[in-house]
């Protein structure tokens, strides 16, 4: 099937174009406004490094990009690009500093009132993640995070508080960021203080059960408190290809994909699938259910959101089990794909593939809430005298991925929107660097802590503004 080179895609009129960040990577102000410590405040090297007893000066997230004080300027820049939606998260420890209090912190609540008001002033819909890799540190240390069933109640109190507070301002919600990442990063994703190597599969999957019950409870609460809102799950998508056509490799892929599909299956169907019951049997795992858990899990999501950065391969051949340096959740590099500076393989077609896979499986609307290219950017003086970044590599990456979103729309997939990751430079989650930049907006801060925190529009800023203004028609195939 040939297509003409000037083919345009029919993005829906109400398609939600925008960008995404997380509170812990952008806000800073880790000890201001009554905020308590979170797990991120003691993870100065991101998921790659060890945790510290107390916050240390080398932790870039303590200041982040100082969005806590600069959010008005930043939202104005998002509005200049034409954002319809802005995905951010609420820092749980701004609302409940320790996590187990009975009463919330009013100063923290007011900050998000101000932020959401600023978004709505420009007609930007907030898309809010309740828990984005930042469990209150007290809950991690005192309760071992989601291993402890008491976390469900703490999370319900927090969710109820923010749903009631922002019910007139926020119509799109997500329960947990990349919930399946708990399999690889139990501390960052699940607030589990027990070191990963000492964590039993029994404890890990019991923690996952608690999170899934809490997520379903948040769905129920959201539907009760904000009837006109939509609430979804958020999954780290990692499409996986067999390294060879050997049936052993194909079965290996199926088993690997089950470990991630499991989280979507639970959120959409509300029941443990047969393949997980087999896994539990074969690994001596027994999920402890309490009365009401099975009924609660049947509160299923309105849509599925996901991140997409890369695909990976699997093989059953032990001689070929070579991990890729950038593949955060396992997998083998694909010999047909290039990689970013951080070893993340670049596969635009994988996005079309995963959109089709999810839609075929769930028949629910999909929302791409993270996708982007981390790269080292050079700030230069442009022809008009303004400082900028000539980030054609980022434009190419995003263009090619959005073309595949257009293809998926042609395939009949129901896609709500697209929020590129790190629409303004933020501190990286994986390595806690600022050198690894994703944004359309350059932030003058560096890994040694130097910089003015000034904001500069990159070349991609103007490109994305055109994409939004044309509703995708400016994309180049």
Q: For 212-221, what is the mean pLDDT?
A: 98
Q: For 74-84, what is the mean pLDDT?
A: 98
Contact 210, 186 (CB under 8 A): no
Contact 273, 265 (CB under 8 A): yes
Residue 320 pLDDT: 85
Contacts of 255 (CB under 8 A, 6+ apart): none
* Most confidently modeled range among 323-327, 381-385, 445-449: 445-449
Q: What b-and-e string marks burial along 466-476, b requiring 16 or more CB atoms within 10 Å of the CB?
A: ebbeebbebbe
Q: For 127-143, what is the mean pLDDT?
A: 98
Residue 382 pLDDT: 85
- Could you say which of 3.20.20.80, 3.30.230.10, 3.40.50.150, 3.40.50.620 is the CATH number of the domain covering 16-470? 3.20.20.80
State the DSSP code for 32. S
Q: Report the 10 Å Cβ neighbour count for 441.
A: 24
In 309-447, DSSP assigns E strands to 312-314, 366-370, 380-381, 387-388, 415-421, 441-443
Residue 4 pLDDT: 41
Just list the catalytic residues.
370
Q: For 337-343, what is the mean pLDDT?
A: 86
Q: For 343-352, what is the mean pLDDT?
A: 94
Residue 340 pLDDT: 85
Q: For 60-79, what is the mean pLDDT?
A: 98
Q: For 194-216, what is the mean pLDDT?
A: 97
Partners of 476 in beta bridges: none
Q: For 23-28, what is the mean pLDDT?
A: 98
Q: Which H helix or E strand runs over 128?
A: strand 125-131
For the chain, the domains span 16-470
Q: Which H helix or E strand runs over 217?
A: helix 201-225
Residue 221 has pLDDT above 70, yes or no: yes
Residue 150 pLDDT: 98
Residue 3 pLDDT: 45
Residue 323 pLDDT: 64
**For the chain, percent of residues with pLDDT exceeding 90:** 90
* Higher per-residue pLDDT: 156 or 325: 156
386 pLDDT band, cuts 50/70/90, is very high
330 pLDDT band, cuts 50/70/90, is low
Residue 38 has pLDDT above 50, yes or no: yes
Residue 448 pLDDT: 93
**For the chain, percent of residues with pLDDT exceeding 70:** 97
Residue 253 has pLDDT above 80, yes or no: yes
Residue 414 pLDDT: 98
Q: Report the 10 Å Cβ neighbour count for 15.
A: 18
Dihedral of the CA atoms 88, 126, 87, 191 (nearest 10)?
40
Residue 6 has pLDDT above 70, yes or no: no
Residue 331 pLDDT: 82
Residue 227 pLDDT: 98
**Token representation of residue 27:** 């806000």
Residue 329 has pLDDT above 70, yes or no: no
1 pLDDT band, cuts 50/70/90, is very low
Residue 2 pLDDT: 39
Q: What confidence tens digit (pLDDT) does each residue in 82-93 have?
A: 999 999 999 999
Residue 324 has pLDDT above 80, yes or no: no
């Amino acid at each position: 099937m040939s297509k003409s080179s000037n083919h345009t895609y029919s993005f829906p009129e109400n398609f939600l174009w925008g960008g995404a960040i997380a509170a812990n990577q952008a806000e800073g102000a880790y000890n201001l406004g009554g905020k308590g410590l979170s797990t991120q405040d003691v993870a100065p090297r991101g998921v790659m490094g060890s945790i510290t007893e107390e916050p240390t000066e080398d932790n870039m997230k303590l200041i982040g990009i100082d969005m806590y004080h600069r959010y008005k300027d930043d939202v104005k820049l998002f509005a200049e690009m034409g954002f319809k939606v802005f995905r951010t998260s609420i820092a749980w420890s701004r609302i409940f500093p320790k996590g187990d209090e009975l009463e919330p912190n009013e100063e923290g609540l007011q900050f998000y009132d101000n932020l959401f008001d600023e978004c709505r002033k420009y007609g930007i819909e907030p898309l809010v993640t309740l828990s984005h890799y930042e469990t209150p540190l007290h809950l991690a240390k005192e309760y071992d995070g989601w291993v402890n069933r008491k976390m469900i109640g703490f999370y319900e109190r927090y969710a109820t508080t923010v749903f009631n507070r922002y019910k007139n301002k926020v119509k799109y919600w997500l329960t947990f960021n990349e919930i399946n990442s708990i399999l690889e990063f139990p501390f960052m994703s699940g607030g589990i203080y027990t070191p990963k190597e000492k964590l039993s599969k029994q404890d890990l999957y019991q923690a996952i059960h608690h999170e899934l019950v809490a997520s379903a409870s948040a769905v129920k609460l959201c539907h009760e408190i904000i009837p006109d809102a939509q609430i979804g799950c958020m999954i780290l998508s990692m499409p996986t290809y067999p390294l060879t056509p050997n049936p052993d490799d194909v079965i290996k892929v199926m088993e690997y994909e089950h470990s991630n599909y499991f989280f979507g299956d639970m959120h959409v169907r509300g029941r443990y699938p047969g393949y997980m019951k087999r896994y539990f049997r074969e690994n001596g795992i027994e999920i402890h259910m309490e009365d009401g858990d099975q009924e609660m899990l049947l509160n299923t999501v309105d849509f599925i959101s996901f991140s997409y950065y890369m695909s990976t391969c699997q093989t059953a051949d032990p001689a070929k089990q070579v991990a890729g340096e950038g593949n955060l959740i396992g997998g083998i590099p694909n010999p047909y794909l290039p990689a970013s500076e951080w070893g993340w393989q670049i596969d635009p077609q994988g996005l079309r593939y995963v959109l089709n896979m999810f839609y075929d499986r769930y028949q629910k609307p999909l929302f791409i809430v993270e996708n982007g290219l981390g790269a080292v950017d050079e700030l230069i003086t442009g022809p008009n005298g303004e400082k900028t970044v000539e980030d054609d590599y980022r434009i190419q990456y995003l263009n090619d991925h959005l073309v595949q979103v257009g293809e998926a729309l042609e395939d009949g997939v129901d896609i709500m929107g697209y929020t590129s990751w790190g629409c303004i430079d933020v501190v990286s989650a994986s390595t806690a660097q600022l050198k690894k930049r994703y944004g359309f907006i350059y932030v003058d801060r560096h890994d040694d802590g130097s910089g003015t925190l000034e904001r500069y529009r990159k070349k991609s800023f103007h490109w994305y503004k055109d994409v939004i203004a044309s509703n995708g028609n400016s994309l180049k195939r």
